[in-house]
């Protein structure tokens, strides 16, 4: 008995995007627009790759990017065959890295003034405002049935926050009204051929901070604040200006009326950007930017982003009381300062793969490294001395483990290298009880003498005020199960 397949929910915006005709340019820091085929990309390989990738709109992946092998070998993340593709499992070390990134981004948004909220992950497909909104968003949905109703899993944090803002009492004095949620998870039924590792997923963790603004002037001012905040957030994660390319998307009308503002964004970015221009407004925004990472397969992916939305204030009937006593709809900015957290991990691992290509040792930023210091006793006789040193360093909130396995010292050192551990100490007769101990420093490959207090101080100096979590696995290697790799 063949049951008729339910029709997939495909939004009007997604259909429109497929047919969309865009004009593509490179905007340089002097404010000049260049046609792509006339721009000199010399010394700008990544911008050329990003532009090529965007203009082609080919999202399919035929090769496995290097971060997939790394995420398994480091026991961070893996595919979950029992789920839908693009829904991953996180092992303890991967969970810790993801949690630290989540905490970090949320703390930066809190410092910016975003008020953190939590909203449901599923919504009624027949809700009149949502049905209308769904059609304006270019994404494919999961749908769920419960009793006689159909629901969709959220693809972003927008509607939960908008429904909340609709019911709030807002004065012009409260603007910009900044509201934030870190969605774990948002769901998008990306096409199967596009799914790969952590780059493109069907369920992902998305920090999303909206700002409701009084008018275009306030929106532009706030937009610039968030443009800088996003760069700062990525920088802290370990993804720097040289690692990404800026894409700016806008209508011809917005460009004509706000040229200086757009040029100023590109100037702040400090290098030329790709511009996609539309004759008329097809989406709910008039301006959008993203910072895009180009990986080892020359594929580009958006990290942080922001938009000026001119539709949803009205659609969701969000109102603020203006100075003149009249209720008005705000403009809404939609910003993810980091992009999906999973994608940040992807970018960090792909960066490590780039390092390997040029003969450098791959690493993760020290604050995210599951084990920051490994202590290796040469035999069981020195376990006590190793424990003592580990405890001294650990007291400064540093993740230290002890390799107490019955393996050769050579094997233990090689395993420490395989885990990308930044500092490795070998404790034998010469080292036990000594004030200063030779430490293998991964970055330089050199042996440097440190006392435990000096090493702790150095690590704290590098990590700074980033969030901290304890070791996510048992401290003794002997006691650890192996998850993958």
Supply the DSSP symbol for 144: E
Give residues 329-388 in contact with Zn ion (rule: CB under 5 A): 334
The distance of closest approach from Cβ of residue 209 to Zn ion in the complex, given in angstroms and rounded to an integer, is: 9
Supply the DSSP symbol for 450: E
User: Of the two residues 27 and 158, which places its CB atom closer to Zn ion in the complex?
Assistant: 158
How many residues bind Zn ion (CB under 5 A)? The answer is: 2
User: Of the two residues 158 and 182, which places its CB atom closer to Zn ion in the complex?
Assistant: 158
Asked if 158 interacts with Zn ion (CB under 5 A), we say: yes
- In our burial notation (b when 16+ CB lie closer than 10 A, e otherwise), range 363-378 reads bbbbbbbbbbbbbbbb
The distance of closest approach from Cβ of residue 421 to Zn ion in the complex, given in angstroms and rounded to an integer, is: 39
Tokens describing residue 478: 């002997």
The distance of closest approach from Cβ of residue 290 to Zn ion in the complex, given in angstroms and rounded to an integer, is: 13
The interface region with Zn ion, picked from 124-132, 154-162, 214-222, 401-409 by CB under 5 A, is 154-162
CB neighbour list of residue 321: distance below 8 Å, 6 or more residues apart? 169, 170, 171, 172, 327
The interface region with Zn ion, picked from 157-165, 222-230, 287-295, 401-409 by CB under 5 A, is 157-165
The distance of closest approach from Cβ of residue 17 to Zn ion in the complex, given in angstroms and rounded to an integer, is: 17
The interface region with Zn ion, picked from 12-20, 155-163, 256-264, 375-383 by CB under 5 A, is 155-163
Tokens describing residue 409: 């010292």
Question: Within a 10 A sphere around the Cβ of 393, how many other Cβ atoms?
Answer: 22
User: Of the two residues 93 and 154, which places its CB atom closer to Zn ion in the complex?
Assistant: 154
The distance of closest approach from Cβ of residue 321 to Zn ion in the complex, given in angstroms and rounded to an integer, is: 23
Question: Within a 10 A sphere around the Cβ of 132, how many other Cβ atoms?
Answer: 14
The distance of closest approach from Cβ of residue 195 to Zn ion in the complex, given in angstroms and rounded to an integer, is: 23
The distance of closest approach from Cβ of residue 210 to Zn ion in the complex, given in angstroms and rounded to an integer, is: 6
Segments of 67-119 assigned E as strands? 77-79, 88-90, 115-116
For residue 255, what is the enclosing H or E element? helix 252-257
User: Of the two residues 334 and 440, which places its CB atom closer to Zn ion in the complex?
Assistant: 334
Give residues 56-115 in contact with Zn ion (rule: CB under 5 A): none
The interface region with Zn ion, picked from 69-77, 129-137, 158-166, 344-352 by CB under 5 A, is 158-166
The interface region with Zn ion, picked from 54-62, 118-126, 151-159, 267-275 by CB under 5 A, is 151-159
How far apart CA 289 and CA 228 sit, in angstroms, is 12
User: Of the two residues 186 and 363, which places its CB atom closer to Zn ion in the complex?
Assistant: 186
52: preceding bond cis by omega (within 30 degrees): no
Nearest to 348 by CA among 395, 310, 312, 301: 301
For residue 355, what is the enclosing H or E element? helix 341-357
User: Of the two residues 132 and 451, which places its CB atom closer to Zn ion in the complex?
Assistant: 132
Give residues 316-335 in contact with Zn ion (rule: CB under 5 A): 334
User: Of the two residues 165 and 390, which places its CB atom closer to Zn ion in the complex?
Assistant: 165
How far apart CA 266 and CA 291 sit, in angstroms, is 11
Place of tokens 């992807």: 346
DSSP assignments along 153-187, one per residue: E-SSSHHHHHHHHHHS-EEGGG-SEEEEEEEEEEE
User: Of the two residues 288 and 351, which places its CB atom closer to Zn ion in the complex?
Assistant: 288
The distance of closest approach from Cβ of residue 167 to Zn ion in the complex, given in angstroms and rounded to an integer, is: 18
Q: Are 303 and 53 in contact (CB under 8 A)?
A: no
The interface region with Zn ion, picked from 123-131, 152-160, 379-387, 389-397 by CB under 5 A, is 152-160
Binding residues for Zn ion, rule: CB under 5 A, are 158, 334
């Amino acid at each position: 008995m063949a049951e008729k397949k339910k029709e997939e929910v495909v939004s009007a915006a997604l259909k429109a995007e497929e047919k969309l005709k865009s004009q593509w340019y490179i905007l340089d820091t002097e404010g000049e627009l260049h046609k792509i085929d006339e721009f000199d990309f010399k010394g700008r390989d990544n911008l050329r790759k990003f532009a090529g990738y965007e203009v082609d709109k080919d999202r399919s992946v035929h090769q496995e990017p290097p971060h997939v092998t790394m995420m398994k070998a480091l026991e961070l993340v893996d595919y979950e065959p029992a789920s839908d593709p693009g829904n991953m499992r996180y092992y303890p070390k991967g969970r810790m890295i993801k949690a630290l990134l989540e905490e970090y981004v949320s703390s930066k948004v809190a410092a910016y003034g975003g008020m953190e909220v939590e909203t449901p992950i599923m919504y009624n497909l027949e809700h009149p405002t949502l049905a209308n909104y769904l059609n304006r968003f270019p994404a494919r949905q999961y749908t769920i049935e419960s009793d006689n109703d159909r629901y969709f899993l959220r693809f972003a944090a927008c509607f939960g926050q908008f429904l909340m803002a609709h019911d709030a009492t807002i004065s012009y004095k409260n603007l910009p009204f900044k509201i934030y949620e870190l969605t774990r998870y948002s769901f998008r039924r990306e096409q199967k051929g596009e799914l790969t590792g952590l780059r493109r997923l069907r369920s992902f963790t998305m920090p999303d901070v909206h700002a409701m603004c009084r008018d275009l002037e306030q929106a532009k001012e706030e937009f610039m604040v968030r443009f800088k905040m996003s760069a700062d957030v990525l920088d802290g994660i370990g993804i720097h200006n040289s690692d990404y390319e800026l894409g700016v998307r806008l209508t011809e009308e917005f460009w004509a009326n706000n040229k200086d503002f757009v040029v100023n964004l590109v100037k702040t970015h400090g290098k030329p950007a790709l511009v996609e221009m539309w004759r008329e407004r097809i989406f709910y925004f008039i301006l959008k930017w993203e910072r895009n990472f180009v990986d080892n397969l020359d594929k580009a992916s958006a990290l942080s982003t922001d938009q000026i939305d001119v539709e949803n204030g009205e659609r969701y009937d969000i109102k603020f009381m203006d100075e003149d006593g009249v209720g008005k709809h705000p403009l809404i900015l939609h910003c993810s300062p980091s992009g999906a957290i999973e994608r940040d991990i992807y970018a960090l691992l792909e960066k490590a793969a780039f390092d390997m290509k040029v003969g450098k040792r791959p690493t993760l930023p020290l604050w995210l490294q599951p084990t920051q210091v490994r202590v290796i006793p040469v035999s069981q006789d020195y376990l006590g001395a190793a424990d003592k040193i580990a405890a001294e360093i650990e007291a400064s909130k540093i993740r230290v483990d002890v390799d107490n396995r019955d393996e050769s010292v050579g094997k233990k050192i090689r395993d420490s290298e395989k885990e990308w551990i930044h500092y490795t100490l070998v404790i034998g007769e010469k080292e036990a009880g000594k004030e200063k101990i030779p430490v293998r420093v991964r970055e330089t490959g050199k042996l440097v003498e440190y006392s435990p207090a000096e090493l702790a101080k150095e690590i704290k100096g590098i990590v700074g005020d980033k969030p901290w979590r304890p070791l996510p696995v048992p401290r003794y290697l002997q006691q650890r199960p192996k998850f993958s790799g």
